[in-house]
Amino acid sequence: MAGHVDALYFFLVALTAFFTAGISFAILYFSVRYRKQRSPEATQVHGSTALELLWSGIPLVIVMAIFVWSAVIFFMQTRPPKGAMEIYCVGRQWMWKFEHVEGQREINELHVPAGRDVRMIMTSQDVIHSFFVPAFRVKTDVLPGRYTSTWFHATVPGRYHLFCAEYCGTQHSGMIGEVVVLDAADYQRWAEGGVDGSLASAGEKSFQHYGCAMCHRTDTAGRAPNLVGAFGKQVLLDDGRTMTLDESYVRESILNPGAKIVSGFKNIMPTFEGQLSEEEVIGLVAYVKALGNGTAGPPIPVSEPNSGAYPVTPKTEPSAVKSDRPGPPAPRATRAQPAKER
C-alpha cells in the first residue's frame, strides 16, 4: 500500500509547490511590472467567459482526479483481501495486546510473516486508540465497544515502529511497540513455539463455561440459532433486515443480544456485558468463526429436553473440514462443566 499512498502524497506536494511558486512569482512580477509610474489611472477589464470557464474547468479536472485517485486507494485500504490471515488486537491504556488465531499472545510486539495479507480485527478495552504503523502506511482507530479492521501486506522482513496515534491519556506517547516481519520459514518457527491451544479452543471452553451450548445447539431442539456453518452467511432478522454474520454481529449478539434477533427466535438470551473480558469475547468470536468454516467440531450437545415452546433451528450439516491444522477434539458425550442457566 505504501507505494500507492506515497504516489498520491508526492503528487499533492508537487501540485501545491507548483501553484505556490507560480502565484508567488506572479505577485512579484506584477508588482514590479505594474507599479505606479506615469499613468495612475487603471484600465478596467470586463468579464471574459472563455477565461472564467478555463479557470473553473482546469481546477475541476484536477480536484476530481485527486478525489477519484484517493477514493480508489481508500477502498483498497478498507477492503481486506480474501484469505488474509487474521490477528486480533486489543488496545488498552497503555499497551497493545495481540492474539493470533493459532493461540500465540503478544504484548507490544506483533510477529507477522512477510508476503502475506494480514487482517487486524481490533477493539479497545477503554478509550479510543489508533493502530499506526508508519512504514505500512496503516492507521486505523481502535474503538471501545466495536471491532474495526485494517489490513497490510508486509514485503520486507525487519522491525517496524508501532504507535498509538490517538491521544489516550498520560502514557499515550509510551503506547508503542514493534511489528516484527519474519520471512515465511522464520515465522513458521516462531509460530510453533509455546502455544497451549488455539484461540478457537479457548473460545470453546468459554462457550461451555457460560452455558452457550444450552441453547445454541446443533440438533433441531435449540432455542437459539445453530452456529455450525453460520459464520459469514446472510441472516434474516425478525424485522425483515438481512445481515451478514460477521465478527461485529457475533460481538454485539454476545453483549447486546436483543439488538438483532434472528427471524424465528425469541429475545431470551441474557446479556454478557461486563461478564466477559475482551479476550474472552475474541475467543468466542474465533470459535463461532471456526464453527462456521468447519475448522472446529460442533458444540457439545447438551441433553436437555426441549419444552417445545421455542421454534427450532433448521438442521445444517457441518461443512467439510478444509483446514490443514490439526482439528479440535471430537465432541465428547458428556460436557466437562455443567452449563448454567442465565
Among 118, 164, 228, 284, binds ligand CUA (CB under 6 A): 164
Q: Which of 97, 100, 129, 217 binds ligand CUA (CB under 6 A)?
A: 129
| Residue from 101, 150, 105 nearest 123 by CA | 150
Are the C-beta atoms of 78 and 118 separated by less than 8 Å?
A: no
Report cis status (omega within 30 of 0) of the bond before 96. Answer: no
Contact 215, 222 (CB under 8 A): yes
Sign of the Cα torsion 270, 254, 109, 6 reads: negative
Query: What are the grid coordinates assigned to 120, written together?
Result: 487486524
Q: Which is nearer to ligand CUA, 94 or 151 (CB)?
A: 94
Strand, coil or helix: 247: helix
Q: Considering the rule CB under 6 A, would residue 18 count as an interface residue with ligand CUA? A: no
CB 164 → ligand CUA: shortest distance, Å?
Answer: 3
139 binds ligand CUA (CB under 6 A): no
Residues in binding contact with ligand CUA, number by CB under 6 A: 9
**Binding of ligand CUA at residue 107 (CB under 6 A)?**
no
Closer to ligand CUA by Cβ: residue 129 or 289: 129
Using the rule CB under 6 A, which residue among 88, 132, 136, 166 binds ligand CUA? Answer: 166
Question: Whose Cβ is closer to ligand CUA: residue 160's or residue 231's?
Answer: 160
| 52-86 core/surface letters (b: 16 or more CB in 10 A; e: else) | eeeeeeeeeeeeeeeeeeeeebeeebeebeeebeb
Our CB check for ligand CUA shows the closer of 102 and 141 to be 141
In whole angstroms, the minimum distance from the beta carbon of 87 to ligand CUA comes to 18
214 binds ligand CUA (CB under 6 A): no
Of 177 and 299, which has the nearer Cβ to ligand CUA? Answer: 177
Judging by beta carbons within 10 Å of its beta carbon (0-12, 13-18, 19+), is residue 336 exposed, middle or buried? exposed
Q: Which of residues 73-92 bind ligand CUA (CB under 6 A)?
A: 91
Return the SS3 of 286: helix
Which amino acid is located at 316 in the chain? T
Considering the rule CB under 6 A, would residue 133 count as an interface residue with ligand CUA?
no
The interface region with ligand CUA, picked from 19-27, 78-86, 160-168, 201-209 by CB under 6 A, is 160-168
Contact between 181 and ligand CUA by CB under 6 A: the answer reads: no
Contact 254, 216 (CB under 8 A): no
Q: What residues make contact with ligand CUA under the rule CB under 6 A? A: 91, 94, 129, 164, 166-168, 172, 175
